[in-house]
Amino acid sequence: MTGITVIHAEPRSTAQYPQTMDDTDLRLLRLVATGDEHAFERLYTRHAHALLAYAEGLLRDRGTAEEALQETFIAVWRSAGSYEGRSTVRTWLYGICRRQALKRMNGGRPAPRPLDEAAHLPSTEPDPEVVALARADTAAVAAALTALPATHREVLTLALSAGLSHAEISQILDIPVGTVKSRLFTARAALARALPVEVEGRPR
Q: What was the pLDDT predicted at 128? A: 46
- The CATH number corresponding to 19-103 among 2.70.210.12, 3.30.420.40, 3.40.50.1700, 1.10.1740.10 equals 1.10.1740.10
**What distance in Å separates the CA atoms of residue 74 and residue 145, rounded to the nearest whole number?**
29
More confident residue, 2 or 43: 43
Burial of residue 142 (CB within 10 Å: 0-12, 13-18, 19+) is: exposed
Highest mean pLDDT: which range of 45-49, 114-118, 119-123: 45-49
Please say if the pLDDT value at position 5 is more than 70. Answer: no
DSSP state string for 14-83: -S---HHHHHHHHHHHHHHHTT-HHHHHHHHHHHHHHHHHHHHHHH--HHHHHHHHHHHHHHHHHHGGG-
Burial of residue 178 (CB within 10 Å: 0-12, 13-18, 19+) is: middle
Rounded to an integer, the average pLDDT of 129-134 is 47
- Rounded percentage of the chain residues whose pLDDT exceeds 70: 67
Please say if the pLDDT value at position 136 is more than 60. Answer: no
Domain 114-203, classified CATH 3.30.465.10, yes or no:
no
Q: Domain residues of the chain, as ranges?
A: 19-103, 114-203
